[in-house]
Amino acid sequence: MTTTVDGTTGRPAFRLATSGLWYRQLNHYPNTGRRVLYLGIVVLATIQLYYALYIPGAVSPTIIANFHMTFSYYVYIIVVGNAVGAFGSLLAGLADRWGRANLVAYGLVITALLVLFGIPNAPNKLSYGIIFSAIAVVEGVILVATPALIRDFSPQLGRASAMGFWTLGPVVGSLIVAIVSSATLSHLHAWQDQFVICGIVGLVVAAIAVVALRELSPGLRDQLMVSARDRALIEARAKGIDLQASLQHPWRQMLRLDVIGSAFAISVFLIVYYTAVGFFTIYFSALFGYSLSKANGLGNWFWAFDAGALILVGIISDRVRVRKPFMVLGAVGAIVMTIIFGSFAGHPNTSYTTFVLTISLLAVFLAIAYGPWMASFTETVEKHNPALTATGLAVWGWIIRVVIAVSTLVLPFVVSSMTPLVNYGTQVSALSTRYAPQLATAAAIDPATQAALNANPANSAAAAKAVGDIAQKEGVSVPVATAKLIALTKVPKADLAYLQAHGAAVENASKAAAGQWKNWWWVAVGGEVVFIPLIFLMTGRWDPRRARRDAAAHEQRVQEELAALER
């Protein structure tokens, strides 16, 4: 006779030894301590995932140079990654049938191995792109599975706080990238070292998830839980819930205007966020001459303020029990700060402190909108069918990945001048600074005379003509002009050839880039504007007083239903 561990799964007792590694379902709603533990593991897993996914942004100029990519090729890798990640999100919709915890735990193992061994050893740009896309597929899966777990373990009245902590995943992941890279890039010269560090950390986090992460059984998770006091009622209902009926035609149930419209709204709203993730380092290094370490240092401010605001606004939203007013406030603030930030593109002397203040405020307003949106979106999905939370999140995951892929694909056409700046700008700037006096001397010499000297440095007539040009145009004596010409001849020919080959292209690109980036920031503003009217599609109250009355009415229904079950 088979001995079972529980009546829900009918698992043989001999599987107990491996139950924690594959069979992860809980048949009773956990107490607060264990629930916080599981939520903490989910947040830790999400942070690590995004740490791995966002590393390329911190060292993107070096990656582009190492693999001899054009800027467009690098962008297309991101496009493909988001496209395949979108379909990873769709596959994760099966988590409503398969569960969520194993997707997260073993997805982390795969990601850590790819980051630790795959990318650092990629032999060429195609291999790098394939490995990056593989990581993006796993990210697309976990993008759906982790918020589904957060939803399962958090009642609606604490949902914004819980989702605020979940949203710390991409934000703190970005913050870790910025902190680690800004602290180590000046000491660890190989860009691959950043991936090795992340891969080692990833294996540790994966081990924690594999051993300790659990999830609710379908009978528990597939119900609506408004407050923690619903626990007894949910466990009573779970004994008789028809799981198969609730999972029929999942996509048909979730392809609703409010679900699709809300997902599209947040996707276009976050264009500025994903531009920051992928291109802030390139933007600040190319347009403002910042080193990789300094550019990533700006990210420390952006992500730190974003993280802090997410937690605070989640707590406040749960306290007042509304989401939509926060979304409107965040959207309006983000629009204003994006316009201000974009205006700096044409001002290369903008101070570092000004950037810190501007992007920190931008991050705060993005957080004010996004944390409550995540809570409201899961509540919108639950309104249709709480048993299909992962399917609803899969719709969101697919849409946001498609929007990111399309917007990223468009970026090189809007900002078409970046390839010369990224590929050659740093070297041209360094050579121009090193040889500034000599280059000024070269500019004073007639081009035909300069060509004659290049062809034959011993041409005395050309040398005499060059000295005369220098003396006349710079207003110096003949001996001084002669010394300047001698200094010019000592500049390595390879350096002069590099400047002649790429200097003009970099100069022209530098002039065009500011206006082009301004246009792109206006695209981001457009996405933020579109977000506002689509807020009205989502479920939830605007007025805190009505929200409190709804909660009181729900509590009364719970007590009445529990009393009826006890009879």
- Predicted confidence (pLDDT) per residue in 468-517, tens digit: 888 888 888 888 888 888 888 888 888 888 888 887 887 887 788 888 89
Residue 86 confidence (pLDDT): 75
Domain-located, residue 21: no
What is the structure's pLDDT at 389?
A: 73
Q: Are residues 120 and 88 in the same domain?
A: yes
Q: Let me know if residue 31 belongs to a domain.
A: no
- Under the banding of pLDDT at 50, 70 and 90, the label for residue 224 is very low
Do 133 and 148 belong to one domain?
yes
- Within this chain, do residues 417 and 477 fall inside the same structural domain, yes or no? no
Note the pLDDT of residue 358: 95
User: Are 433 and 392 contained in the same domain?
Assistant: no
- The answer to whether residues 211 and 311 belong to one domain is yes
Q: Same structural domain for residues 365 and 483?
A: no
Q: In this prediction, what percent of the chain has a pLDDT beyond 70?
A: 80
Judgement on whether residues 216 and 166 belong to the same structural domain of the protein: yes
pLDDT tens across 294-312, in order? Answer: 887 888 888 889 888 988 8
Is 78 among the domain residues?
yes
pTM over 0.75: no
Q: Which residues contact 405 (CB under 8 A, 6 or more apart)?
A: 78, 79, 80, 82, 83, 86
Most confident of 181-185, 279-283, 333-337: 333-337
Give the pLDDT score at 505.
80
Q: What is the pLDDT, as a whole number, of residue 244?
A: 58
Q: Pick from 478, 508, 538: which residue ends a domain?
A: 508
pLDDT greater at residue 424 or residue 387: 424
How many domains, in total, are found in the chain? 2
Domain identity same for 374 and 478: no
Structural domain includes residue 264 = yes
pLDDT over 90 at 459, yes or no: no
Specify the higher pLDDT residue, 172 or 340.
340
Nearest to 278 by CA among 523, 68, 78, 527: 78
Q: Is residue 236 predicted with pLDDT exceeding 70?
A: no
Residue 305 within any structural domain of the chain: yes
Amino acid in position 256: R
Q: Are residues 311 and 447 in the same domain?
A: no
Helix, coil or strand: residue 216: strand
Percentage with pLDDT > 90 across the chain: 16
CATH of the domain at 166: 1.20.1250.20
Q: How far from the centroid of its chain's Cα atoms is residue 112's Cα?
A: 18
* CA-based max dimension of the chain: 114
Is 431 in the same domain as 419?
no
pLDDT band (50, 70, 90) for residue 332: very high
In terms of pLDDT, which residue wins out, 158 or 268?
268
Q: Which residues of 394-431 are buried (b: 16+ CB within 10 A; e: fewer)?
A: bbbbbbbbbbbbebbbebbeebebbbbbbbbbbebbeb
Say what the pLDDT of residue 8 is. Answer: 41
Average pLDDT, the chain: 79
With cut-offs at 50, 70 and 90, classify the pLDDT of residue 188: low
Task: Identify whether 64 is part of a domain.
Answer: yes
- pLDDT above 80 for 322: yes
Please give the pLDDT value at position 354.
94
> Are residues 497 and 536 both part of a single domain?
no
Rounded to 10 degrees, the C-alpha dihedral 64/67/69/71 comes to -10
Token reading at 54 = 């966002």
Quick one: which H or E segment has residue 215?
Answer: strand 215-216
Hey, what are 298's tokens? Answer: 């700006």
Which of 258, 338, 351, 356 has the alpha carbon at shortest distance from 301? 356
Q: Which domain range does residue 472 map to? A: 427-508
pLDDT band for position 339 (cuts 50, 70, 90): very high
Give 21-37 pLDDT, tens digit per residue. 666 666 666 677 787 78
Specify the pLDDT at position 233. 42
Q: How confident is the model at residue 524 (pLDDT cuts 50, 70, 90)?
A: very high
Using 50, 70 and 90 to split pLDDT, how confident is the model at 130? very high
Boundary of a domain, candidates 461, 477, 508: 508
Residues 183, 294 share a domain: yes
Reduce the secondary structure of 428-481 to three states and give it as a string.
Answer: HHHHHHHCHHHHHHHHHCCHHHHHHHHHCCCCHHHHHHHHHHHHHHHCCCHHHH
